[in-house]
């Protein structure tokens, strides 16, 4: 079994600052950032799966929308007796994930569209655990009543669906909070908001979607990650906010709630406030485990 690459000094030394490169979703810098984000989130949450889960009977695991494969690699590396599969609809991410897990004999990554899962490739009731993290970036609110049951049906009877989502952070940065307000207004204008008000709100709805899919919720855990200046999560938050601004800008322009110039200026102001010594912020996540 190969060594865990996260223990290598290259991961500790590779810092990606917002001003250090031009954002492109399909380059080495972004792949490294996503892998680092996975590692840091897992550390903050105390592991890649809730510690209370009984994994003694778990043999086959699926990671939905696995991105560049960090979660797949970690689980397969830690549990060599498990067969771990990941899928993603983005061919570039799949290629990167396949290269990342290539040294492991118990991990594989394939290309699949989460909205059109193939029964031949992913037979129903064929996994002991199905995992999903941050579907919010790829699934519209009105699509969850179809997407969640399609993932749950991949679990065997008694199998577990493990699902993690995140809310807009709460900070003392005026510009950050204005960004979240603009984004929520843009989502409302396009019919893509989860709830009324200023919160993103996806975590409010997770339980109802899981129960409607026939799951009994056995774990419901919230995490708060401190991203204030001087904390372990601060630099990662600064990077994530910068990338988030780049990723969301086209949606906001489509919604006509702001202009490119105004939003770019708001993002610049947010970065200045984030790196201030007095910056304070908290990110909230929710993990649900449903048993089919």
What is residue 3's predicted lDDT score, i.e. its pLDDT? 53
CA 14, 16, 19: angle at the middle one, nearest 5? 145
Q: Which residues pair with 86 in a beta bridge?
A: 63, 109
Residue ranges for the chain with pLDDT beneath 50: 1-2, 6-21
Q: Does domain 25-291 have CATH number 3.40.50.300?
A: no
Q: Where are the beta strands (DSSP E) in the chain?
A: 60-64, 83-88, 107-111, 127-133, 155-166, 170-171, 216-226, 281-291
The two tokens of residue 268 are 């610049």
Q: Which residues pair with 217 in a beta bridge?
A: 290
What is residue 19's predicted lDDT score, i.e. its pLDDT? 44
What is residue 137's predicted lDDT score, i.e. its pLDDT? 87
Nearest residue to 231 (alpha-carbon basis) of 154, 192, 283, 191: 283
- Bridge-based pairing of strands 281-291 and 170-171 is antiparallel
End-to-end Cα separation, the chain, in angstroms = 33
Q: How far apart are CA 52 and CA 259, in angstroms?
A: 47
Q: How far apart are CA 255 and CA 258, in angstroms?
A: 8
What is residue 33's predicted lDDT score, i.e. its pLDDT? 87
Say what the alpha-carbon torsion angle 26, 70, 21, 264 is, to the nearest 10 degrees: 80
Return the CA Rg of the chain.
19
Domain spans, the chain = 25-291
Is residue 76 within 8 A of residue 100, CB to CB? The reply is: no
Which residues, including other chains, have CB under 8 Å from residue 154's CB and lie 6 or more apart? 62, 117, 122, 123, 124, 125, 126, 127, 130
DSSP notation for 4-42: PGGGSHHHHH----TTSS---TTSHHHHHHHHHHHHHHH
């Amino acid at each position: 079994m190969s060594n865990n690459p996260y223990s290598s000094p290259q991961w500790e030394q590779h810092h990606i600052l917002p001003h250090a490169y031009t954002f492109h979703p399909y380059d080495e810098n972004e792949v490294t950032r996503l892998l680092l984000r996975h590692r840091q989130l897992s550390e903050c949450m105390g592991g890649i799966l809730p510690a209370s889960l009984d994994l003694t009977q778990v043999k086959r695991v699926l990671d939905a929308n696995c991105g560049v494969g960090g979660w797949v690699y970690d689980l397969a590396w830690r549990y060599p007796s498990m067969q771990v599969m990941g899928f993603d609809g983005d061919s570039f991410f799949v290629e990167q994930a396949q290269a990342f897990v290539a040294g492991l004999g118990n991990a594989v990554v394939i290309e699949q569209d989460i909205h059109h899962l193939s029964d031949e490739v992913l037979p129903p009731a064929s996994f002991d655990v199905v995992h999903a993290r941050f579907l919010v970036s790829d699934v519209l609110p009105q699509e969850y009543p179809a997407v969640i049951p399609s993932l749950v049906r991949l679990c065997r009877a008694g199998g577990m669906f493990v699902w993690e989502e995140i809310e807009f952070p709460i900070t003392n940065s005026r510009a950050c909070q204005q960004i979240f307000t603009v984004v929520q207004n843009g989502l409302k204008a396009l019919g893509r908001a989860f709830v009324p008000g200023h919160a993103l709100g996806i975590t409010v709805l997770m339980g109802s979607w899981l129960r409607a899919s026939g799951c009994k919720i056995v774990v419901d855990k919230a995490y708060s990650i401190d991203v204030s200046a001087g904390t372990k999560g601060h630099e990662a938050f600064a990077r994530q906010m910068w990338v988030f601004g780049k990723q969301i800008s086209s949606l906001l322009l489509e919604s006509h709630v702001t202009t490119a110039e105004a939003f770019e200026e708001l993002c610049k102001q947010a970065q200045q406030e984030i790196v201030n010594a007095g910056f304070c912020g908290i990110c909230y996540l929710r993990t649900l485990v449903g048993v089919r």
